Amino acid sequence: MPELADDLRLAARHGVNAITIGEEAFFPWTTSKAITEELDALAKAHDCTLTGSGYQDVFWGNLIAVLAGSTHRIDRIQGLTQYNADDYGSALAQKHGVGLDLDTFAMRIGASNSPSYVWNSNEWLCARLGWRVRSMRQQLLPTTHHSHGAAALGEPRPGDRRWACHRHEGGGGDGDARGSSD
């Protein structure tokens, strides 16, 4: 949220509705509480809406909530999402550790404690289902793929390519929101 806040403040001050694909903006109430409360008050004062949407809104949020609504009992929600980093350019590829050997990935990416893209979706889903988040965890695991290179990193390079694998697990019907993300 810190990198989105100035643009969202500007929109709100002028009464302009704004939507962003910044993943944290989908449900920022716990990861950026102070900024979120400030932006919420500003939007309400100027009669506009600030919101986050995107892939997580559809596939990690609303689709799961709709399917959950068609069941009698939920003991656990578990999912896996994976994508080709080449489709999103070099910034995402680098952030996700494409091209790193396994040891470097473990040090730089795997040891990170920054919330992943899925983190806020876990919280949103629990709130939507009326559950209380008891705990969450995330694991950042590489998926390896042998290819001739990663287009997102420029010129093709031979050897193993490291791909980011996002894993999303949610909680059980008792309101437990344990999970691993990213």
Give a yes or no: residue 181 inside a domain. Answer: no
Instruction: Judge if 82 and 117 occupy the same domain.
Output: yes
Give a yes or no: residue 120 inside a domain. Answer: yes
Tokens 């590489």 map to which residue? 142
CB 136 within 8 A of CB 122: yes
pTM assigned to the model: 0.65
Q: Which domain holds residue 34?
A: 2-52
Instruction: Judge if 46 and 66 occupy the same domain.
Output: no
User: How is residue 97 written in tokens?
Assistant: 């550790």
Give a yes or no: residue 174 inside a domain. Answer: no
Give a yes or no: residue 179 inside a domain. Answer: no
Summarize pLDDT for 97-116 with one digit per residue, the tens.
888 888 998 998 888 777 77
Is residue 67 exposed (0-12), middle (13-18) or buried (19+ Cβ within 10 Å)? exposed
Instruction: Judge if 61 and 148 occupy the same domain.
Output: yes
How many domains, the chain? 2
Summarize pLDDT for 32-78 with one digit per residue, the tens.
999 999 999 999 999 999 999 877 778 888 888 999 999 988 888 87
